[in-house]
């Protein structure tokens, strides 16, 4: 590393800025570097919603709240003038602490000395001491803002309406009451009690959902590879301590602040989470800037390695990291509402507008007519109570709790099925996915790669033949196989786990990606990986990436024996001690054209003729057609005069140029990664649910197509290609296979044709092309789900409507994903099912709440105001229905199991409304009208039987008939009000049964005795409703207070018969909908 003295003297003015903008232009406009050292510590806006998990190590990018603060602190040369700098705030202290860090200015050896560490890592004794000194690598808990949360528990949702209603009714008691009505006081107290109950429910719901999400995020994998006691091992990120040596590669997230001690030439880091940089920055060993935040030899906690690999020593952990320091300055994020929250909010706004309209009508009629013509009919105090009653009746109090309950229940159920949703909004999105773009390796396949074939010369042999040939010195293939064995051993980023060294080769644990693991195990089976690696010193490393599609390494020999064991005898005899070796491993279609010679079956080197090349192409195509991944291995002997210094930052381009021609082909390795057994059935199920499953992979076209057939993704006999997109044909366009190169030539019209295919395989795709595929399907109005596990999948995972990653995915992919699968791909079926169930249950809750709550309860008030009829449902009983019986059942409906036909329906469009005209037609036009008419009928029928005729009430505005005493008149109306109340409550039981299914019969979706459909909680609400009716209608003190009375026994059974009739009518409707799916009733069905 370069010493700090090699840089210019530190400027007298030092400015550190906490940049407020979440995204910074790539040209760096706005940041002067002339006379200042600028440290841009900013937050980007794409953090996940996993914050709030206490006691977790961190995933800093999710633990830190999403807020922005701007802090600027300048330490001027005034200190030289004797003016002390003032540091009055925590922000300023953080700035100074970051400015004082000097790890980047020290040499690597000085860093090791200061941390009491070395290249061999820490000993177990040192680790225990440092853990005691520094604690666990976990960020401190974010501020909880308890008072703010408590406030929203009370006044969030409909709490404000309940509280305001309670105040208004209290005013109507005193001072407006003349005389004060005790019923108004009681009603006010009930409203305040409901206000407190809903606050308690909100608190419990918040705790419950937070606990579910915390337990989900607590299951996310977080570990890294360290060197301790001289051996590599996997270590939990929470156990990292300063002085630990860690390895990183593309896709990894740094668990702490580190100082780089070894990096590949292409190592780059995405610092956007801290600095807002739109482009990844290269990593170096030497200091590039005196500013700790600007130098590139420091890696910061929470940043991602986007390419390359390397080794680093940990210098800071937990709250001592730059990320941890910033986290202390931030506050709780303002979370944007999810789409379903927005839809519910819009629905509630419509209900509120309707409520205000009805209240306005009441006020206009009262002010323009009743006040002057019938002043005693509705006094001011009674008017206020009526208005409050209408307001609370129209508002579905149970809806917010039911929404959160439904999503939380489904998220918890998915967790039990090893599906982790990072946020509740992810659950709802699953229900509308119409296209699922799936990666191949590790998602559709087992990700248990094993080398099963290789080539010697142009001949294909199986693994057993290769092992026998490598062990038998007399075998003609022996020399060629050892050349292939050595090349695959040294051009390989995987490592055997030292703790499993005593196990058989097949059972040993390997640290690295699946392809490198297969090649390393193959090499060990043919020879000795450790011996081969001892022969060579790695001088340059270019890691595999999806653009280049190869891995390249440059070596110098440690002895003469190195060339004798790696190249042909003829080449070894001409190689000097100063000769170097370039080894490259990657895609055959990329590397084969760069080769001018090849290793023959006997181990000699011969020119690669067209005939030999054709034979190799046939082997490659045959293996690919069998679903095998084909890896090409090549090498090139170099002299030191052929290239520059590999330590220079510009050497990467030179290395690529050296590898672009004149390579010697060593051989192919055929790797088998079989599809998961359950995949064909899963794809078929998703297809039945109206979801198109497509493969997007970086593999060779023939390999991808073969695996796609095995996975049931391609079922058509005839498969189109790029040329078919240009031809107008009447033939059904069903299956299509395209390569990345062909995607580049598609225009908008051809993309439109592509998006119409049912079965598609995209092969040899780059990250940019994967992103473009997602965008094109979204432009075609599809809701796109994307699965992936690598760094190259991260952009498309973010772009997709829902990104899905397996547990073993790269850190960068895990962060970009919305959902994580801890099990296999089959869990996606359950995820889609639960996502649709959550949405379905919300519709059922709303469908249940509307008939009584916002329709049947309103009309007694309206007839009272407009037609002079007595209010046959008292305001108090109206509120009891809304806040107790209906709210309870509404919440219980959130626990409904999925209907049997849920995965046979097409996915819903995001343009579909949660509450549309079909649902309103059923709730208001069918159930609401029936309940209202029948309840009025029951009430007035009782009046008729008691001698109070309808003609005695119509437009009478409270005038007592001459043939009846006022006491008898009031007693009859009390009973009539109680009958209306009980009639609605009892009929709502049957409405809840009808609302449990949208199209299925109650007999095929029974609430009991079937574990796949049962919801026993709904029966708990029946005795609860009975209790409510008895409590507010039978005790004598309550009757006097709340204008209620004993209910005649026949009016307990009549509503049951009427409700059963309602349920039967709905059963007939559902039967007709199922039988005539294209009929008028089906088009009107919700």
User: What is the mean pLDDT, run by run of 10 residues, along the chain of 1086 residues?
Assistant: 37 34 35 34 34 35 33 35 43 70 90 91 91 86 74 80 87 80 83 84 73 58 83 88 91 90 87 70 88 88 86 91 73 55 78 85 88 85 84 75 75 79 77 90 84 96 95 93 96 88 88 90 94 92 84 91 90 86 94 96 95 95 92 94 84 92 96 91 94 91 92 90 76 86 89 92 90 93 88 85 85 84 83 88 90 87 89 86 84 89 87 86 94 96 95 90 92 95 94 93 91 91 92 91 91 95 96 93 90
In a domain, 187, yes or no: no
| Nearest-angstrom CA–CA distance, 186 and 194 | 12
HSE, side-chain direction, 13 A CA sphere, residue 952: 15
Count CB-CB contacts under 10 A for residue 1012: 10
Q: Side by side, which strands form the sheet with 304-307?
A: 281-282, 268-270, 304-307
Domain residues for the domain of 131 are: 4-140+222-327
925: exposed, middle or buried (Cβ count in 10 Å: 0-12, 13-18, 19+): middle
Q: Of 282, 302, 327, which closes a domain?
A: 327
Same domain, 758 and 630: no
Q: Which residues contact 89 (CB under 8 A, 6 or more apart)?
A: none
Same domain, 430 and 527: no
- The token pair that represents 850 in the structure block: 């509307």
pTM of the model: 0.74
Same domain, 868 and 738: no
Distance between terminal CA atoms of the chain?
A: 70
In a domain, 123, yes or no: yes
| Nearest-angstrom CA–CA distance, 228 and 230 | 5
Q: Give the pLDDT score at 851.
A: 92
What domain count does the chain have?
Answer: 4
- The token pair that represents 269 in the structure block: 């880091």
| Nearest-angstrom CA–CA distance, 306 and 811 | 10
Same domain, 965 and 863: yes
Q: Give the pLDDT score at 327.
A: 66
Same domain, 256 and 359: no
Buried residues in 8-35 as b, exposed as e (16+ CB within 10 A): eeeeeebbbbbbeeeebeeeeeebeeee
> Strand runs (DSSP E) across 813-889, as ranges?
819-821
In a domain, 991, yes or no: yes
In a domain, 627, yes or no: yes
592: domain CATH number is 3.40.1110.10
- The token pair that represents 879 in the structure block: 């509120």
In a domain, 909, yes or no: no
DSSP 57-102: PP-HHHHS------EEEEE-GGGGGT-PPP--SHHHHHHHHHHH--
**Dihedral, CA of residue 726, residue 730, residue 731 and residue 735, to nearest 10:** 50
Same domain, 1065 and 957: yes
| Nearest-angstrom CA–CA distance, 788 and 765 | 13
Same domain, 757 and 846: no
| Nearest-angstrom CA–CA distance, 362 and 167 | 20
Q: Give the pLDDT score at 935.
A: 96
Taking a C-beta distance cutoff of 8 angstroms, is the pair 735, 759 a contact? yes
Same domain, 503 and 530: yes
Output the 3-class SS for 252-319: CECCCEEEEEEECCCCEEECHHHHCCCCCEECCCCCCCCCCCCCCCEECCCCEEEECEEEEEEEECHH
Q: Give the pLDDT score at 30.
A: 34
Q: Give the pLDDT score at 31.
A: 33
Same domain, 273 and 380: no
Compute CA distances 947 → 660, 744, 758, 962, 978, whole Å: 104, 86, 71, 12, 18
| Nearest-angstrom CA–CA distance, 93 and 99 | 10
Reported residue count of the chain is: 1086
Q: Give the pLDDT score at 1064.
A: 96
| Nearest-angstrom CA–CA distance, 768 and 770 | 5
HSE, side-chain direction, 13 A CA sphere, residue 474: 0
| Nearest-angstrom CA–CA distance, 515 and 448 | 9
Radius of gyration of the chain (CA): 37
351: domain CATH number is 1.20.1110.10
Q: Of 646, 672, 698, which closes a domain?
A: 672
Same domain, 1045 and 897: yes
793: domain CATH number is 3.40.50.1000
Q: Of 644, 672, 700, which closes a domain?
A: 672
Look at residue 1034 and give its three-state secondary structure: coil
Look at residue 630 and give its three-state secondary structure: strand
In a domain, 935, yes or no: yes
Same domain, 358 and 491: no
231: domain CATH number is 2.70.150.10
Compute CA distances 430 → 25, 477, 795, 993, 1004, whole Å: 34, 54, 19, 26, 25
In a domain, 911, yes or no: no
Same domain, 801 and 874: no
752: exposed, middle or buried (Cβ count in 10 Å: 0-12, 13-18, 19+): middle
- Report which of 284, 245, 216 is spatially closest to residue 817, judged by C-alpha positions: 216
In a domain, 649, yes or no: yes
User: At which residue do the structure tokens 């432009």 appear?
Assistant: 779
């Amino acid at each position: 590393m370069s010493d700090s003295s090699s840089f210019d003297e530190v400027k007298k003015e030092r400015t550190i800025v906490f940049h407020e903008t979440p995204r910074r232009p790539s040209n760096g406009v706005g940041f002067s570097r002339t006379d200042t050292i600028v440290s841009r510590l900013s937050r980007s806006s794409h953090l996940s919603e996993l914050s709030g998990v206490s006691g977790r190590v961190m995933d800093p990018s999710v633990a830190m709240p999403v807020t922005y603060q701007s802090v600027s602190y300048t330490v001027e040369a005034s200190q030289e003038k004797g003016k002390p700098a003032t540091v009055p705030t925590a922000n300023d202290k953080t700035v100074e602490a970051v400015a004082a860090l000097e790890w980047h200015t020290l040499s690597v050896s000085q860093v090791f000395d200061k941390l009491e560490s070395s290249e061999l890592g820490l000993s177990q004794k040192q680790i225990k001491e440092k853990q005691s000194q520094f604690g666990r690598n976990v960020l401190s808990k974010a501020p909880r803002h308890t008072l703010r949360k408590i406030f929203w528990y009370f006044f969030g949702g409909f709490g404000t309406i309940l509280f305001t209603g309670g105040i208004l009714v209290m005013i109507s008691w005193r001072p407006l009451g003349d005389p004060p009505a005790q019923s108004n006081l009681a009603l006010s107290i009930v409203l305040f009690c409901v206000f407190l109950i809903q606050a308690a429910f909100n608190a419990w719901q918040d705790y419950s959902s937070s606990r579910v999400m915390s337990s989900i995020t607590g299951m996310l994998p977080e570990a890294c590879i360290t060197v301790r006691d001289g051996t590599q091992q996997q270590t939990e990120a929470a156990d990292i301590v300063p002085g630990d040596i860690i390895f990183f590669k593309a896709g990894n997230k740094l668990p702490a602040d580190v100082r780089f001690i070894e990096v590949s030439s292409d190592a780059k880091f995405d610092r956007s989470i801290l600095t807002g940089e739109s482009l990844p920055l290269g990593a170096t060993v030497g200091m590039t800037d005196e500013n700790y935040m600007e130098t590139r030899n420091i890696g910061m906690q929470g940043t991602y390695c986007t390419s390359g690999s390397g080794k680093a020593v940990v210098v800071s952990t937990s709250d001592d990291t730059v990320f941890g320091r910033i986290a202390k300055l931030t506050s709780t994020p303002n979370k944007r509402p999810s789409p379903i929250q927005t839809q519910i909010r819009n629905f509630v706004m419509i209900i509120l507008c309707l409520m205000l309209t009805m209240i306005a009508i009441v006020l206009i009629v009262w002010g323009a007519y009743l006040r002057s013509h019938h002043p005693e009919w509705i006094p001011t105090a009674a008017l206020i109570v009526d208005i409050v009653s209408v307001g609370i009746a129209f508002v579905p109090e149970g809806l917010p709790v039911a929404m959160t309950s439904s999503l939380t229940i489904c998220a918890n159920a998915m967790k039990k099925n090893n599906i982790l949703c990072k946020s509740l909004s992810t659950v709802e999105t699953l229900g509308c996915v119409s296209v699922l773009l799936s990666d191949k390796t590790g998602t559709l396949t087992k990700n248990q790669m094993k080398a099963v074939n290789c080539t010697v010369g142009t001949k294909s042999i199986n693994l057993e033949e290769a092992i026998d040939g490598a062990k038998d010195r007399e075998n003609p293939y022996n020399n060629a196989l050892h050349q292939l064995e050595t090349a695959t051993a040294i051009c390989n980023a995987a490592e055997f786990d030292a703790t499993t060294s005593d196990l058989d080769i097949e059972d040993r644990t390997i640290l690295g990606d699946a392809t490198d693991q297969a090649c390393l195990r193959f090499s060990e089976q043919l020879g000795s990986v450790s011996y081969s690696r001892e022969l060579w010193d790695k001088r340059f490393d270019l890691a595999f990436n999806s653009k280049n599609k190869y891995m390249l390494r440059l070596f110098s020999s440690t002895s003469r024996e190195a060339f004798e064991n790696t190249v042909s005898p003829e080449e070894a005899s001409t190689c000097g001690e100063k000769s170097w070796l370039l080894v490259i491993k990657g895609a055959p279609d990329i590397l084969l054209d760069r080769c001018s010679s090849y290793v023959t079956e006997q181990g000699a080197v011969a020119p690669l003729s067209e005939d030999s090349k054709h034979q190799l192409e046939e082997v490659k195509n045959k293996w690919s057609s069998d679903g095998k991944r084909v890896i090409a291995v090549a090498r090139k002997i170099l002299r030191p005069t052929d290239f520059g210094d590999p330590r220079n930052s510009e050497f990467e381009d030179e290395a690529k140029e050296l590898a672009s021609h004149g390579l010697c082909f060593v051989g192919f390795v055929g790797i088998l990664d079989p599809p998961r057994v359950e995949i064909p059935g899963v794809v078929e199920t998703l297809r039945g649910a109206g979801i198109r499953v497509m493969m997007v992979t970086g593999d060779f076209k023939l390999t991808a197509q073969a695996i796609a057939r095995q996975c049931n993704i391609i079922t058509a006999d005839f498969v189109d290609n790029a040329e078919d997109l240009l031809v107008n044909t009447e033939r059904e366009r069903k299956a299509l296979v395209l390569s990345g190169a062909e995607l580049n030539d598609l225009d908008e019209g051809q993309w439109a044709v592509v998006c119409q295919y049912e079965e598609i395989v995209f092969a040899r795709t780059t990250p940019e092309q994967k992103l473009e595929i997602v965008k094109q399907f979204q432009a075609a109005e599809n809701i796109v789900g994307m699965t992936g596990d690598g760094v190259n999948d991260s952009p498309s995972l973010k772009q997709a409507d829902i990104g899905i990653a397996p547990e073993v995915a790269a850190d960068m992919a895990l962060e970009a994903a919305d959902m994580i699968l801890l099990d296999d791909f089959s869990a996606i079926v359950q995820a889609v099912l639960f996502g649709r169930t959550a949405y379905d249950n919300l519709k059922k809750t709303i469908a249940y709440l509307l008939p009584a709550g916002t329709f049947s309860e309103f009309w007694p008030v309206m007839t009272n105001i407009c037609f002079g009829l007595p209010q046959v449902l008292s305001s108090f009983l109206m509120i009891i229905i809304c806040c107790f019986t209906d709210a309870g059942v509404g919440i219980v409906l959130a626990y409904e199991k999925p209907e049997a036909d849920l995965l046979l329906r097409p996915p819903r469009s995001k343009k579909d409304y949660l509450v549309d005209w079909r649902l309103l037609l059923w709730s208001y036009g069918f159930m609401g009208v029936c309940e209202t008419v029948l309840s009025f009928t029951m009430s007035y029928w009782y009046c008729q039987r008691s001698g109070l005729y309808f003609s005695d009430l119509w437009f009478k505005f409270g005038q007592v008939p001459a043939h009846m005493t006022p006491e008898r008149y009031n007693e009859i109306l009390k009973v009539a009000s109680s009958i209306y109340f009980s009639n609605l409550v009892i009929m709502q039981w049957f409405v809840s049964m009808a609302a449990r299914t949208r199209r299925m019969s109650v007999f095929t979706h029974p609430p009991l005795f079937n574990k796949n459909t049962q919801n026993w909680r709904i029966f708990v609400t029946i005795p609860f409703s009975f209790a409510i009716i008895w409590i507010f209608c039978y005790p004598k003190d309550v009757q006097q207070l709340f204008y209620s009375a004993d209910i005649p026994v026949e009016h307990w059974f009549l509503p049951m018969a009427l409700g059963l009739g309602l349920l039967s009518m709905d059963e007939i409707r559902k039967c007709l909908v199922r039988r005539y799916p294209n009929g008028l009733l089906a088009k009107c069905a919700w």
